[in-house]
């Protein structure tokens, strides 16, 4: 009996590996009886000795590894020591970070018997069979050559369905990856896919059949890893249409993630996408930069007006979770133009702004350009930029701090209402995030801040920094480049603070928080006798409606019952609530309302200068509005 071990080392537990699963399925299809195939999937976060022992105990004839920028160095150490223990075993490497610099790695790693360069489904399978069962080797090029350790890829025209039924069951709450096409029609210089020729598509009928099979296991999320999913507009339309129709027919929670080019979306596609259930789809859309000189340098097509128009229309649907991508440190990019790109994307109101840093990958055209410009980057994976030709190492260090702030306070969605109000204050919203980053560094240093304390951070930021905008004289305020919404608070600092803290309270309650922090001016601290009377009236009405839950009361400067985005938090029959949750798509982040809708609502309400007493029930992880009464007129707005 011969044995081959296929080891996948993912960057986190939620991820899954496609490449080695393809090889496993091809090996199984050879139907060689005395071949044992062991597939092991681990993460880079596991202790080294545990990983090593899991390989050692298999005593395999061949160990095959899939190398990426997050695991290649770890794979090197495992390979070296496996070869020392089992000198006769064969070590096979493949994957992007091995194939892109194969000759260099072979010279550096004598313990590696072969590297497959490029797509390795068939070549890897043939190499394994040739080494174990030479008489059963396929009649294929590069099957086994004793004079080389480097094997060229063959662009696959067919690739197997990678998952077994048992895996689909076991991986139900992790991210499944799916490949409907390979290759890329674009030639972006920073991407390994730019070295391919054209996109090759799996037959549409196969894709639809495989999607139905996956949906039957109801996974949390399926990510298409097609480089540009909508490069074939008709095909993209048919797949989206199919999934939208199935979401009406079937009760499943699966969210589908696609990387798309916004400018390629057609009116027909947009009309279709407007009909998708909220959370069914998640789109990742790369702009990377809006600097025309940099775009030309990296050979990336981009049409800013069309991009803006289409993304704005997509976002207005409020049904698709949208990620917009920005790359920091591109050659020729200045700090000023990088911030202009960030402002451009933030003004499109994405659910997430992904602020990535340039990775200077081996064997990409951009590496030659970066070396020519004497840019500094890591000499080891992930090859991240440290200093560009236009941005200093210190400035990129500060940008990494800003990236962390964006991830925590904006991308997480946990502080949605307060962050979108703050971003709405300025014509250049990225300035708010820069100020928040500076404030955190100045007041809190680099220590870890707990989730509960982050609300206090924002409350202090509101009071100590942003509120001061509106204490200033008119000339100073004019220099702040406030939006029309921001100008509403000119010389009204207390009004600003009240509205901002009220929104922060909503975010606080939405995350299931129940305590009374220092920044929190709660109803319980208010001794106004008239408020106590209003509370008694509401409580009496709720008792008549047979509400027996524990009730909390708070005062707000606007009616929560009408606040966009809280419609599903107005209490109703518990059974209906449970049914609604069971139908939600669980892989995407929350599909929030647009910032424009929030700002429009606040503009209308804050000028009324009214107060509302709200009764609600705290739940986990949110809260439910039970009743609301306008304080100054005692008009009761009952929800129940």
Residue 282's DSSP bridge partners are 257, 321
SS3 content of the chain, % helix, strand, coil (to 5): 45, 15, 40
Q: Residues of the chain with pLDDT > 90: what percent?
A: 74
pLDDT: which is higher, 632 or 619 = 619
Place of tokens 């004079």: 147
> Given this model, what pLDDT does residue 201 score?
93
Place of tokens 């092991």: 40
Per-residue pLDDT tens for 300-341?
Answer: 999 999 999 999 999 999 999 999 999 999 999 999 999 999
Per-residue pLDDT tens for 367-398?
Answer: 999 999 999 999 999 999 999 999 999 999 99
Specify the DSSP element, H or E, that contains 342.
Answer: helix 335-346
Spell out the residues 6+ positions from residue 437 whose beta carbon is closer than 8 angstroms to its own.
398, 401, 402, 404, 405
> Given this model, what pLDDT does residue 142 score?
45
User: Per-residue confidence at 636, pLDDT binned at 50, 70, 90?
Assistant: very low
Whether residue 498 has pLDDT greater than 60:
yes
Stretch 181-201: mean pLDDT: 84
What's the chain's average pLDDT?
91
pLDDT: which is higher, 481 or 529 = 481
Stretch 530-557: mean pLDDT: 86
- The CA-CA-CA angle for residues 80, 84, 86, to 5°, reads 110
DSSP letter assigned to residue 198: S
Neighbours of 524 (CB within 10 A): 11
Per-residue pLDDT tens for 264-310?
Answer: 999 999 999 999 999 999 999 999 999 999 999 999 999 999 999 99
Stretch 597-622: mean pLDDT: 90
User: Per-residue confidence at 622, pLDDT binned at 50, 70, 90?
Assistant: confident
pLDDT: which is higher, 477 or 640 = 477
User: Per-residue confidence at 148, pLDDT binned at 50, 70, 90?
Assistant: confident
Domains, in order of start, for the chain? 2-152 (3.40.50.280), 165-411 (3.20.20.70), 413-521 (no CATH), 525-638 (no CATH)
pLDDT: which is higher, 546 or 55 = 55
User: Per-residue confidence at 585, pLDDT binned at 50, 70, 90?
Assistant: confident
Stretch 125-151: mean pLDDT: 74
Whether residue 588 has pLDDT greater than 80:
no
Give the separation between CA 458 and CA 439, rounded to whole angstroms. Answer: 10
Stretch 175-194: mean pLDDT: 90
Cβ proximity of 374 and 317 under 8 Å: no
Q: Which of 126-130, 467-471, 570-574 has the lowest mean pLDDT?
A: 570-574
Whether residue 476 has pLDDT greater than 60:
yes
Cβ-count burial 2-21 (b if 16+ within 10 Å, e if not): bbbbbbbbbeeeebbbbbbb
Radius of gyration of the chain (CA): 28
User: Per-residue confidence at 149, pLDDT binned at 50, 70, 90?
Assistant: confident
- Comparing CA positions, the residue from 297, 447, 288, 429 lying closest to residue 366 is 297
């Amino acid at each position: 009996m011969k044995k081959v071990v296929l080891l996948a080392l993912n960057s986190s537990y939620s991820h899954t590996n496609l490449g080695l699963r393809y090889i496993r399925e091809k090996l199984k299809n050879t139907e060689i009886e005395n071949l044992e195939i062991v597939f092991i999937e681990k993460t880079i976060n596991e202790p080294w000795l545990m990983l090593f022992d899991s390989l050692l105990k298999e005593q395999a004839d061949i160990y095959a590894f899939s190398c990426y920028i997050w695991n290649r160095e770890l794979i090197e150490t495992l390979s070296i020591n496996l070869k020392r223990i089992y000198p006769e075993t064969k070590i096979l490497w493949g994957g992007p970070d091995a194939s892109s610099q194969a000759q260099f790695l072979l010279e550096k790693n004598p313990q590696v018997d072969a590297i497959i360069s490029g797509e390795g489904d068939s070549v890897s399978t043939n190499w394994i069979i040739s080494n174990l069962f030479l008489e059963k080797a396929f009649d294929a090029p590069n099957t086994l050559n004793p004079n080389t350790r480097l094997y060229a890829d063959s662009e696959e025209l067919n690739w197997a369905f990678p998952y077994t039924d048992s895996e689909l069951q076991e991986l139900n709450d992790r991210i499944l990856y799916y490949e409907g096409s390979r290759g890329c029609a674009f030639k972006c210089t920073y991407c390994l896919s730019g070295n391919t020729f054209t996109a090759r598509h799996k037959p549409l009928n196969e894709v639809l059949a495989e999607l139905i099979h996956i949906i039957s296991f109801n996974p949390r999320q399926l990510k298409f890893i097609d480089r540009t999913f909508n490069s074939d507009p008709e095909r993209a339309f048919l797949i989206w249409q199919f999934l939208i129709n199935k979401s009406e027919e079937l009760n499943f929670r699966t969210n589908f993630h696609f990387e798309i080019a916004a400018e390629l979306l057609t009116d027909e596609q947009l009309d279709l996408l407007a009909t998708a259930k909220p959370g069914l789809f998640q789109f990742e859309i790369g702009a990377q930069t809006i600097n025309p000189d940099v775009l030309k340098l990296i050979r990336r097509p981009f049409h800013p007006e069309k991009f803006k128009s289409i993304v704005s229309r997509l976002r207005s649907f409020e049904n698709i979770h949208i990620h917009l991508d920005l790359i920091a440190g591109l050659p020729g990019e200045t700090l000023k133009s990088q911030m202009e790109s960030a402002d451009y994307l933030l003004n499109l109101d994405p659910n997430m702004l992904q602020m990535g840093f340039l990775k200077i990958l081996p064997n990409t055209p951009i590496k030659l350009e970066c070396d020519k410009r004497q840019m500094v980057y890591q000499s080891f994976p992930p090859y991240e930029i440290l200093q560009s030709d236009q941005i200093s190492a210190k400035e990129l260090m500060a940008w990494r701090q800003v990236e962390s702030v964006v991830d925590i306070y904006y991308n997480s969605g946990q502080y949605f209402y307060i962050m979108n109000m703050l971003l709405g204050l300025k014509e250049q919203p990225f300035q708010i995030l820069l100020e928040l980053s500076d404030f955190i560094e100045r007041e809190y240093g680099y220590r870890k801040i707990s989730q509960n304390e982050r609300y206090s951070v924002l409350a202090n930021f509101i009071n100590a920094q942003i509120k001061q905008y509106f204490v200033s004289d008119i000339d100073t305020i004019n220099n702040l480049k406030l939006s029309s919404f921001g100008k509403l608070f000119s010389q009204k600092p207390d009004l600003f603070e009240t509205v901002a803290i009220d929104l922060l309270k909503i975010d606080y309650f939405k995350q299931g928080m129940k305590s009374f922090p220092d920044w929190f001016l709660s109803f319980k601290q208010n001794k106004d006798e008239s408020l106590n009377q209003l509370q008694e009236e509401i409580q009496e009405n709720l008792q008549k409606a047979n509400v027996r839950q524990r009730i909390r009361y708070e005062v707000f400067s606007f009616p929560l019952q009408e606040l966009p985005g809280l419609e599903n938090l107005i209490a109703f029959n518990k059974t209906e609530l449970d049914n609604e949750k069971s139908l939600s798509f669980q892989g995407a982040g929350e599909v929030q309302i647009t910032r424009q809708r929030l700002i429009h609502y606040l503009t209308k309400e804050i000028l009324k200068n009214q107060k509302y007493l709200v009764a609600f029930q705290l739940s986990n992880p949110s809260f439910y509005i039970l009743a609301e009464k306008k304080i100054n007129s005692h008009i009761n707005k009952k929800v129940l």
